[in-house]
Amino acid sequence: MPFPDAKILDQRDPLAHLRDRFALPDGLIYLDGNSLGALPKSVVERMQTVVGTEWGHDLITSWNKHDWIDLPRRVAAKIAPLIGAEPGSVIVADSTSVNIFKLLAVALAERSERKVILTEQGNFPTDVYVAGGIARLMGRGHEVRLATADALAEATTEEVAVVMLTEVNYRTGARLDMPALTRRAHEAGALIIWDLCHSAGAVPVDLAAAGADFAVGCGYKFLNGGPGAPAFAYVAPQHQGGLRQPLQGWLGHEAPFEFAPDYRPAEGVDALRAGTPPILSMSALDAALDAYDGVDMHAVKAKADALFDLFVREVEAQPPSLEILTPREAERRGSQISLRHPEAYAVMQSLIARGVIGDFRQPDIIRLGLTPLYLRYADVQRAAEILGEVMRSGEWDRADYKRRAKVV
């Protein structure tokens, strides 16, 4: 079967116009939006306004004049439809790691008679680290238990207080079955927290329909909010009554500007707030989310799947030196493709030198993000061709490509 003509696919692409919403460097094929999203053009103008006018001219009056104080709610309201969250169930604050800590504390308090936090073996390290940290902090015999993806349902026993899972695996791109695993957690009497760092803005997510209890996610990958962009947290409506978390900062108070000596948590998800919101980075995320205006996430996933299939066909036409780790079944993967090679780091560096930007994950994984809002079929096809050229020529086999940088 002949490969599809990438130019024709681009001409027929219903999402093609979205590329114009991004500032993309000439001469590069950017396949790392699953690690740091590209810069939306809207962010540049917004930052000029926030820095030059709101901060530079209006100074502290902007907390009221430009409603900085409620920016976390406004940004959350843009994220909520992308993750299938009910109105008023999302807040933007802090980092993913901090939000995991807060939600684990809430969930463990709700299941205080149980001591096990269950997560996937191979989950993103920060999730496991935070779970271990809070287990030690509680000092009451809590433990973190790991299970492989295919054993998670069986491992969800009546000992488990909280199941904490990342929907799309950061290394392989494999996607867990959110509705089924959420249902299994509830059958066992456990609560569940979903990490959506590689899901939000990449695949259709419906937390409400799945019955999820809690969720977290970052703002700098597929949501394109910029390096270190604030994260978000979700709390299902049934868990919001009396919500209380341990990081009792002043903006989580029901009346922060009373400066009362006693802490009274705000109602609903506002109780997850702690300190002063980072207005510059949150404003960047706010503007970046406008790139999703009018975008159907099912169309985004359909294009991601088509980009994946195109890349796979091109790679499989090359010498068989690369193993494809990402599941072939569309419903079982996110929006990336991961390839295994013993010298994956060097191969990735040689691709970067050729203008194809992706990344490497230990121990031997080439990871390439497929971001449909700004990637063209021609980009993906050309990237696969360059990968084939690199593998055939052996140009990756150079000492400077094998020298590890601080950030890999």
Q: Based on the domain organization, do 71 and 202 belong to the same domain?
A: yes
Q: Is residue 184 part of a domain?
A: yes
**Of residues 101, 220, 308, 374, which has the active-site annotation?**
220
Q: Is residue 131 part of a domain?
A: yes
**Of residues 13, 32, 94, 195, which has the active-site annotation?**
195
Phi, psi of 319 (to 5 degrees): -55, 140
Mean per-residue pLDDT of the chain: 97
Q: Tell which of 245, 264, 292 closes a domain.
A: 292
Structure tokens at 359: 């990344």
Instruction: Assess contact for 182 and 160: CB atoms under 8 A.
Output: no
Q: Based on the domain organization, do 59 and 135 belong to the same domain?
A: yes
Which tens digits make up the pLDDT trace of 140-191? 999 999 999 999 999 999 999 999 999 999 999 999 999 999 999 999 999 9
Active site residue 195: yes
Active site residue 220: yes
Q: Based on the domain organization, do 356 and 261 belong to the same domain?
A: no
Q: Based on the domain organization, do 327 and 240 belong to the same domain?
A: no
pLDDT at 5: 87
C-alpha to C-alpha distance for 244 and 268, rounded to whole angstroms: 9
Percent of the chain residues past pLDDT 90, beyond the cut: 97
Looking at residue 326, what DSSP letter applies? S
pLDDT at position 2 over 60 = no
Asked if the peptide bond before residue 363 counts as cis, ω within 30 degrees of 0, the response is: yes
Instruction: Assess contact for 284 and 219: CB atoms under 8 A.
Output: no
pLDDT at 181: 98
Structure tokens at 170: 């950061």
Domain extent, residue 23, equals 6-30+296-402
**Of residues 222, 367, 379, 401, which has the active-site annotation?**
367
Active site residue 309: no
Q: Based on the domain organization, do 54 and 106 belong to the same domain?
A: yes
Q: Based on the domain organization, do 215 and 104 belong to the same domain?
A: yes
Active site residue 183: no
pLDDT at position 1 over 90 = no
Q: Based on the domain organization, do 256 and 330 belong to the same domain?
A: no
**Of residues 21, 221, 273, 301, which has the active-site annotation?**
221
Q: Is residue 407 part of a domain?
A: no
Q: Based on the domain organization, do 264 and 327 belong to the same domain?
A: no
pLDDT at 228: 97
Looking at residue 400, what DSSP letter applies? H
Q: Tell which of 254, 269, 292 closes a domain.
A: 292
Going by pLDDT thresholds of 50, 70 and 90, the confidence category of residue 321 is confident
Which tens digits make up the pLDDT trace of 351-379? 999 999 999 999 999 999 999 999 999 99
Q: Is residue 121 part of a domain?
A: yes
Write the CB contacts of 373 (distance below 8 Å, at least 6 apart in sequence): 15, 18, 19, 21, 22, 224, 291, 292, 295, 300
Which CATH number fits the domain that encloses residue 175? 3.40.640.10
Q: Tell which of 258, 292, 326 closes a domain.
A: 292
Sheet containing 90-92, strands listed edge to edge, beginning at the edge strand earlier in sequence? 90-92, 232-235, 214-217, 191-195, 160-166, 116-120, 143-147
Which CATH number fits the domain that encloses residue 349? 3.90.1150.10
Active site residue 114: no
pLDDT at 3: 58
Q: What is the DSSP string of 104-172?
A: HHHHHHHTTT--EEEEETT--HHHHHHHHHHHHHH-SS-EEEEE-GGGHHHH--TTEEEEEEESB-TTT
C-alpha to C-alpha distance for 311 and 268, rounded to whole angstroms: 44
Give me the count of residues in the chain.
408
Phi, psi of 145 (to 5 degrees): -115, 135
User: From residue 306, how far is each of 116, 332, 398 by CA, in Å?
Assistant: 40, 14, 34
**Of residues 22, 101, 124, 214, which has the active-site annotation?**
124
